[in-house]
Amino acid sequence: MQAKTDSTIADKLPARLRRLEELVYNLWWSWHRSARDLFKMLDRMLWIGTRHNPILILREVPPDRLAAAAKDPAFLRHYDAVLMEMDRDLKTDGHWFARTHPATEQPTIAYFSAEFGVHISLPIYSGGLGVLSGDHLKEASDLGLPLVAVGFLYEQGYFRQRIDANGWQEAIYPALTIEQAALKPVLDEGRCCRTVSVEVGNRTVALQIWRVDVGRVPLFLMDANHDGNAPWDRELTARLYGGDQEMRIQQEILLGIGGVRILRALGCEPRVWHINEGHSSFMLLERLRELVASGRDMPTAMEMVKAETVFTTHTPVPAGHDVFSYHLMDQYFQGLWPRLGLSRDEFLALGRADDGHGGGFNMTALALRLSRRANAVSRLHGEVSRKMWRVLWPDRPEERVPIGHVTNGAHVSSWVGSVLHSLFRKHLAPDWVERHDQPTLWEKVEDIPDAELWAAHRALKRKMLSVIRERARVQRIERSASAEQLLASGILLDPEALVIGFARRFATYKRATLVLRDAERLAGLLHDKDQPIQIVFAGKAHPADDPAKRLLQEVFWTALNPQTGGRVAFVEDYDLQVARYLVQGVDVWLNTPLRPLEASGTSGMKAALNGVLNLSILDGWWAEAYNGRNGWAIDPGIGDAPPGGDRDAVEAEALHQLLAEEVTPLFYKRDIDGVPRGWVEMMKNAIRTAGELFSGRRMVQQYAREYYLPALADALAPGPETGRR
Ligand SMILES: *Cc1c(COP(=O)(O)O)cnc(C)c1O
């Protein structure tokens, strides 16, 4: 994409507010309340109208508004405080990593991911994996980890969802406007855009490099939409997970091989390489090629690469792992194996997984073979992954298959609602965000008066409902949405009645319609005179996944049906922002995956952090978080019976029983001042569990201690015969 030299923001700012430009170009602002408040103070209507995009705000705000702010003592006080906070965070040392590992040389850890969800103004993510990568970067910044990240700049990285009157999902691909995102082109000495080139089959593709600052962490994004490339090559970085296998192998060549070249070109010398999901596994081949080119033999090169590599696998669904046909591998890699000194068979063996899923070059198998450290993303997923990948270590018992687990976490200050944040300041500690990795801090949740916690929750619930209504108004104005569509989008939801949230990607294994299975029984719960329940759905189906789109349609029809009386709703266009309001504002977070297919799940953690109670199958993170006092487990005791009619029926029955006999009565059991004491007690337990054990901070600290630092030690220690670079 073209980088225009653009000075409109800088030219427009009064001298006293000059540093606003710096602030809006570092996504640090997105998880610091004080900075977000500053933009709200500057222009509240623009803050809402731009969907929280400060770069756009500065472009659109009238100059006299800026001039007035530059003279407003209250604004200036806040402005100075925000910059001081940012400087302390970004320009000083003494963060956790430097404090706890002072003796270590400051290594560079390279983190590769196909998607990053940091903020909606940078739409280069599709779902959970991207949001997790985004949270990883924010936390690495907070902890002062010396990390650099590499990914794609998708021009249409994210589709916006619209549901037509018939409940069918339409995908709209708005093009990213560079000028509206916190992107800076990386320039060379001649102030031209810096590029690297990658051979893709018999072509050479030039990749332009963009930089995004996520606090202290630089995120480098590659972009093939560049003048020097053929028109078809310019499409390579257009969309996330679009196209066929051939498109995909080409994208993954760019991500893995191009990613290594970008870091080299920028002078980064990573000592640890983290492959976040197999999409970027080709980086291993590039690093082998470099080592062999510098004179190592292949066994030595392999040991060196392994020592420095950490690999995280994210899915127990076999189809979720990329496998490329040998035909495609021949086409794109036949030039490489001679350079590695390998025969075709030896080369293809690096990606072999004789797992009964057909032949081909498996990106997860490649990564597992060439990483000394590998992990799954929850305890249960660790067990499943060891079973799944035992084929690579046939002579080992399952428990000795070298795949550990680091359970995912959610970045706490990004996900805790503002009113709760204030409550935590008051009752946990004024600096609770800085200290949230101390377990004793979370014990103090018990000290929050029940009525205050309940009032905070009610405020978040009202906020969510008003956001839902506001979106409906926009649908009405912009698309003349019908009365039925408005009803389905949630405008009739009752703030006093129990609200259950179900929002996530519509993949069939997540079984969005399980709760709707017994329509008659559900109707009884929805319309109960004293204790009604309501359900809010949101989520996107992959545009090519028709079965998932049919599930979505079924949900939408239920929301449209007058019989449900507006008590079932579908909120269109699930994204980071909708997710935020829902995980903060509903009462119950429902999750009904087909165990064990949910590797971890993170939305339930975000909900629990806000005191929203999980009602979930014992899968992924919930299998290790549930303790009987912090939510509910849908567990009819049938284990992992084969999927299908019976299993769905038994689990749906258990869900309805819990709803009718435990969840709903507890919610409506109020004391004299209207506070549901038993419910609030559970909310406190949920907050404690999530804060202590499922924060992004715990996750990144665990990666640092158990994966990055040992990898670094291995990388630095001369191997028995290998010597070092
Ligand atoms: C947290 C999050 C997810 C992940 O949700 P799961 O329930 O873990 O699948 C997906 N999308 C968005 C926008 C999120 O914020």
132 lines ligand 1 (CB under 6 A): no
Dihedral sign, CA of 77, 80, 86, 87? negative
Pick from 39, 67, 91: which residue ends a domain? 91
- How confident is the model at residue 724, as a pLDDT? 38
- How confident is the model at residue 715, as a pLDDT? 83
Residue 481 pLDDT > 50 = yes
- State whether 381 and 419 are in the same domain: no
Polymer length in residues for the chain: 725
Q: Looking at residue 30, what DSSP letter applies?
A: G
CA distance 305 to 308: 5
Mutate to test the pocket of ligand 1, among 502, 504, 600 (most ligand atoms within 8 A of CB): 504
The full DSSP string for 149-177 is EEEE--TT-SPEEEE-TTS-EEEE-PPP-
SS3 42: helix
Dihedral sign, CA of 46, 47, 51, 54? positive
- State whether 446 and 591 are in the same domain: yes
Dihedral sign, CA of 202, 208, 214, 215? positive
Residues 710, 374 contacting (CB under 8 angstroms): no
Mutate to test the pocket of ligand 1, among 603, 606, 616, 699 (most ligand atoms within 8 A of CB): 603
* Contacting residues for 234 by C-beta, under 8 A, at least 6 apart: 224, 225, 226
**Side chain identity at residue 257, one-letter code:** I
- State whether 185 and 200 are in the same domain: yes
- State whether 31 and 117 are in the same domain: no
Rg (CA), the chain: 26
The pLDDT tens digits for 483-527 are 999 999 999 999 999 999 999 999 999 999 999 998 899 999 999
CA distances from 327 to 199, 323, 324, 346 (A): 18, 12, 8, 16
Dihedral (C-alpha) 543, 548, 553, 556: value to the nearest 10 degrees?
Answer: -100
- How confident is the model at residue 13, as a pLDDT? 96
The pLDDT tens digits for 624-672 are 999 999 999 999 987 777 766 689 999 999 999 999 999 999 999 999 9
Atom of ligand 1 nearest to the CA of 580: 15
Count Cα neighbours of 167 within 13 Å in the Cβ-side half-sphere: 19
Write down the residue that tokens 């001039």 correspond to.
67
* CATH code, domain carrying 605: 3.40.50.2000
- State whether 64 and 122 are in the same domain: no
The pLDDT tens digits for 408-436 are 999 999 999 999 999 999 999 999 999 99
The tokens for 192 are: 């031209």
pTM of the model: 0.96
603 lines ligand 1 (CB under 6 A): yes
- State whether 563 and 668 are in the same domain: yes
- State whether 204 and 224 are in the same domain: yes
If you measure from the C-alpha of residue 579 to the centroid of ligand 1, how many angstroms do you get, rounded to a whole number?
A: 7
Is residue 166 situated within a structural domain?
A: no
- How confident is the model at residue 105, as a pLDDT? 63
The full DSSP string for 623-666 is HHH--SSSEEEE--S-TTPPSSHHHHHHHHHHHHHHIIIIIHHH
* Contacting residues for 563 by C-beta, under 8 A, at least 6 apart: 523
The pLDDT tens digits for 291-340 are 999 999 999 999 999 999 999 999 998 888 999 999 999 999 999 999 99
Helix-then-strand count for the chain, H and E: 34, 20
How many domains, the chain?
3
- State whether 129 and 79 are in the same domain: no
Residue 131 pLDDT > 50 = yes
CA distance 650 to 634: 10
Domain that holds residue 709: 106-157+171-408+702-716
- State whether 329 and 456 are in the same domain: no
CA distance 654 to 286: 51
Closest CA to 573 of 174, 38, 90: 174
- State whether 564 and 652 are in the same domain: yes
CA distance 697 to 436: 8
Atom of ligand 1 nearest to the CA of 606: 1
